[in-house]
Structure 1
Amino acid sequence: MKIKTQVLAMFAITLLIPLVTWRLTAARNVPNHLIIVNQSGQTIKN
């Protein structure tokens, strides 16, 4: 049973990490794009 719970925990973590990082980068990219557009006058997409 211990091995199963460890595998499930690892699986959940591997699924959560990309979701959390995507959410953070998505939230961070919106103001960054606006700042880049304001500074250079052209749209730069990462």
Structure 2
Amino acid sequence: MAQPYGRCEDCGERLYAHIEGGYQCLNCGRRYAAADLETRTA
């Protein structure tokens, strides 16, 4: 599994790269598109 990237907006846990693209919180299961995270960090 890829290294953590960012934090989940719902529960605050770390996000991990998902095999199908984007990122996922392993705690609550929420998925994020890579483009969504790029705009949050800018």
TM range (shorter): under 0.3
Structure number with bigger Rg = 1
Structure with bigger strand share is 2
- Give 1 or 2: higher helix fraction: 1
